[in-house]
Structure 1
Amino acid sequence: MLIHALTATNKSPLLALARRIADAGCNLSESRVSTIGTEVSLMLLATGAWDALAKLETALAKLSRDESMHLVHYRTGPRQNSSHLLPYLVEVVAADRPGIVARIVDFFSQHGISVEQLNSTRYQAMQTGAEMFQAQFTIGIPAEIHIAALRDDFLELCDGLNLDAIMDPVKF
Structure 2
Amino acid sequence: MTQLALALLAASMLAGCGALALMRGDPRPVKPDWQTVTLVAANDANGNSALAVDVVLVRDKAVLDTLAAMPASRYFAAKGDLQRTFPEALTVLAVEITPGQALQLDAKRFGEQRVWAALVFANYANPGEHRERLLLGSSAYVLQLNAQGFAASDIKTGAAR
How high is the TM-score relative to the length of structure 1? Answer: 0.24
Structure with greater proportional strand content: 1
Greater relative CO (CA pairs within 8 A, separation 6+): 2
